[in-house]
Structure 1
Amino acid sequence: MSIEAINEQLLRAIGVGVALVDLSEMSVGFRNDTFAEWFGERGTATRLAELFPALDLDALQTNLGSDNKHTTEASFKVRRRTMTVAMEFNRAKDSGDQIAVLVCQNITRIKELESMIDSYSVMVERNTRDIKREKEQVEKLLLDMMPRAAYEEYKSFGIVAPRIFEPVSVLALDFAGFDLLLGQHDPAVIVSDLNDIYSALDRIGEQFGCQRIRTHGDSYVSVSGVPDPETDHALAVSNAAVRFLRYLAQRNASHPIQWQPRIGLATGSVIGSVVGVQRYIYDVFGPAVTRAVMLRRASHPMSILADNGMVEDLDETFATETQDPVDSSGAVRLSEACATTATAG
């Protein structure tokens, strides 16, 4: 077998088409078997413009005239399948004829792989965005369920170690006649109102450094001093409680359902931790919480009942008076006033 035949077989094996181009007529003369298989035998379509309609002939002439070389790509149909080749024109040197050697490398598979990689990259980018969005949603959900410090501990270690916080102040709120309201109004209306109210209470509490711990039906519990210590924890929950009453009074003036809050305030110690395994939630419990809930039950509608330990930490911004009937625990009713604070009788 001759060297020329061996070279031809090698070129055919690696999918390379070779042809000679007459630059004076922009036509294809000699072509190897691979080139002929793609574009037909001599005489079928010899002009470059016919074989490669998208080929920029002006750019070809310019590059061959200056660099003796021109590279480009072209796609065409071969037996109902799109094929892409990398084309390289090299002008023949030391030749009086205007001849260029055209080498066409089949890069269809490479282009398919590039397309697959691009599609995969888009898919990975989309999945990354989805994962990031889901992660942010999970983080937001967990931050709604627990303080940030507890969340960071849970994210780092998978648990939140129980801690005793002391002293702190607890605010417990519910609504007088809640069961009666449930029987008088559509459940969807009640839930919508509670969502609006609790969202407003959260915003008010945050202004004074209070962290809402939990809601359950008409029960709302907030605390100051957990998990970060707060020197003015009593003042924080007292200010929040007064603003709660003011907000609900204004809301009642323009809404059909009259929400009558009862609020209990207490100072003391609590234990904070994540409770539960599958449906976990950050919760606080202990003497201060128990005391605040008890005072909430004893409080009159649209009023605040606070224990004496809290009153001792407050300034003259608040006035106190004994609730009628007198609370046996010694708690006092708290209100915002300019008058000097009075102790319980």
Structure 2
Amino acid sequence: MSIEAINEQLLRAIGVGVALLDMGDLRIRFFNDTFKEWFAEIELGQPLSELFPAIDMQVVKQALADTGRYNSEASFRLRRRTMTIALAVNRALDGAEPVAVVVCQNISRIKELESMIDSYSMMVERNTREIKREKEQVEKLLLNLMPRSVYEEYKTFGVVMPRIYDPVAVLCLDFSGFAQTVSEQDAGVIVSELNDIYTSFDRIGDQFGCERIKTVGDLYITVAGVPDPSEKPMQAVADAAVRFVRYLEQRNRSHPVDWKCRIGLASGSVIGSVVGVQKYIYDVFGPAVMDAMRLLQFAGPMEIVVADAFADKVGHEHLFELAGDASLASGEAVQLMRLVPDADATAQ
């Protein structure tokens, strides 16, 4: 077997198509069996442009003249499938006569794999974006259920350890005549109104370092000193309460539904933790919460009621007036004090 025959078999075995071209007109003067398999109608003397009509032969000639080589990719129909090849044309000499050697490597499988990889990468990227978006939505939801520091603890350890917080100030608020308002208004109006009011309460509370714990119907509870310590928790909830009343007074002037809040303020210790297994909620409970709920019952429309000890600790930042006697949830007898919002000097 001649060297030429051996080379021919090697070229055929590795699926490489080889052809020789005349330099002048790029017509085929030799091709191997692989070329014959790809192009069944191929003939000697046939222009290369007929095999690869998408390739500009003037560009090929110019590249051969300038650098002696031309590289490209080309696709064509092979029976019922599309075949892609890497095409390399190099200038050479056949004795003293210049020729061009065409070497074609079947890269169809590589292209298919590249396409699969691109599709997979796009799918992974899309799924990553969706997972990130879902994660952000879950995080946003959990941050609506618990303070950020509590959420970070839950995310890191999977549990939230119950903690006693002291001193803490609690603000409990509800609305006078809420049952009647609900019966007189459309359900969508009530939900929209409460959403607007509670959102404003949250923003006001943030300004004074208060953390909204929960809302249950018309009950709104916010605290100062949980989970992050507060230097003046009682001052913070008092300032927030005054701003809540002022906000509602201003809002009632331009809205058809008239909202009259009642507020109770108390201080003491509370326990804070995540409650529930399937439905998580961060809650606080303890003497301060029960006292604030108790004092709330003695408040009239647009009134803020505290115990005398609370008023004494707030100091001269707010003006208080006597509002009678009562007993706290523990049974302790206290003197009720009514905070006078119009006399406040801290939140003009």
* Common fold: TM-score over 0.5: yes
- The corresponding residue for 2:335 is 330
Give the equivalent residue in structure 2 for 1:292: 292
Whole-angstrom CA distance in 2 between matches of 1:168 and 1:213? 13
Shift of 1:337: 4.7
TM-score, normalised relative to structure 2: 0.92
Residue 210 of structure 1 corresponds to 210
Distance 2:181 2:13 in 1: 85
**Residue 247 (structure 1) aligns with:** 247
Matched residue, 2:26: 26
Alignment of 1:116-195 (within 5 A): 116-195=116-195
CA displacement 1:291-319 (0-9 Å, x = unmatched): 00111122111110112232122232311
Q: Is the 8 A contact 2:245 2:341 kept in 1?
A: no
Offset, 1:70? 2.2
| Bigger Cα displacement from structure 2, 68-77 vs 207-216 | 68-77
- Once the two structures are overlaid, the 10-residue window that deviates more, 80-89 or 160-169, is 80-89
Amino acid at match of 2:242: V
**How far apart are residue 72 of structure 1 and its match?**
1.4
2:344 & 2:67 partners in 1: Cα distance?
97
Amino acid at match of 2:109: R
Cα distance in 1 between the residues matched to 2:291 and 2:108: 78
Aligned-partner Cα distance in 1 for 2:66–2:344: 97
Deviates more, 1:91-100 or 1:175-184: 91-100
Aligned length: 339
CA distance in 1, matches of 2:190, 2:70: 76
Secondary structure of the corresponding residue to residue 87 of structure 1: strand
Q: Which moved more, 1:4-13 or 1:171-180?
A: 4-13
Mapping 1:249-288, distance limit 5 Å:
249-288=249-288
- Distance apart, 1:8 and its partner CA: 2.8
CA contact (8 A) 1:267 1:309 kept: no
Unaligned runs of 5+ in 1: 341-345
Please say if residues 252 and 258 of structure 1, whose CA atoms lie closer than 8 Å, have aligned partners that are also in contact: yes
Instruction: Report the Cα distance in structure 2 between the residues aligned to 1:273 and 1:218, rounded to whole angstroms.
Output: 23
1:79 shift after superposition: 1.8
Q: Counterpart of 1:186 in structure 2: which amino acid?
A: D
With 195-204 and 68-77 compared, the bigger mean Cα shift is at 68-77
- CA RMSD in angstroms comes to 1.9
- Residue 58 of structure 1: CA displacement? 3.6
**CA-to-aligned-CA distance 1:107-130 (integer Å, 9 cap, x gap):** 001001001111111111111111
Structure 1 distance, partners of 2:297, 2:282, is: 23
**C-alpha separation in 1, matches of 2:308 and 2:76:** 90
Greater shift after overlay, 85-94 or 190-199?
85-94
Superposition TM-score, scaled by structure 1 size: 0.93
Unpaired runs of 5+ in structure 2? 328-333
Match of 1:97 in 2: 97
Partner of 1:343: none
